[in-house]
Amino acid sequence: MPARQRQSREREDYLGARRTRERYGWETGKFRVAIGCQLERIYANCTGLRSVERSSVIQLGACITVAFDSRRIFEATGSWRPRLQILKIVVGCMVAAVLYGVVHDQITARIYLPYFTVFHPPVFHTQSPTLQGLGWGIIATWWMGAFLGMLLAIACRAGSLPQLTLANIIRPIGILLLVMAACALVSGMIGFVWGRIPQEMAGLLPARAERRFLADWWAHNASYASGFIGGLVVCVFAYRTRMEMNRNFGSRSVSAGS
């Protein structure tokens, strides 16, 4: 099937589902939305028949649709496949956050280990920078990944606009991680050179360790701040991408009709 014809058919399915949803409402059952889209197409091809014959053909078409086109029905309704895409986005964001946190903390634990062993709750009773970085890299990041993942899943899947999958947002997430790493590096260097110890911590650190502590502290705060703000930017980008996709679909349908 040519690409233009396939895009036109996908657009027809999308608009048909939207019209049927607006006509009947979601309270009548999501399954009817998909069936309604298929039956509207069958009905359009049977307009030359008598009403009894047309009714029989439509009923037969419904049976065939249910039996042989279940994949499209599941994709048009709120069944397990769209929900799986939501789960993939949330889990993908959590994995990305944890991987970043582990790599980040492997570096900062080697810059100044007491930042974790003294200035964090004693969760891991070890002096190994590898284990401390691994443990805190997971504990300190998974919840942020889950939170931003849920926001991103809403931005990618909610509403009647064309929906995005995890594969569509891998690149923005990767760019965000690189930006976070750059912010952490620059902030750590600024903290090491120009940072000042808070007054309540002045007596807790030896003078020779203050610079390294400040480098870790500034780097961690920069990662949190850039990750949160950048995550919101990715959500806005994803929703704007969906709006652009919807406009492109509309312009294609208009040009095809003319």
**What would the pLDDT profile of 206-229 be if each residue is shown by its tens digit?**
888 899 999 999 999 999 999 999
Alpha helices by DSSP H, listed for the chain, are 3-24, 30-44, 51-68, 70-76, 80-111, 114-117, 129-139, 142-157, 166-194, 210-257
Least confident of 21-35, 77-91, 127-141, 192-206: 21-35
Q: What is the pLDDT of residues 137-181, one digit of tens each?
A: 999 999 999 999 999 999 999 988 999 999 999 999 999 999 999
**Encoded tokens for 245:** 């996709």
What's the rounded Cα separation, in Å, for the pair 188 and 202?
A: 19
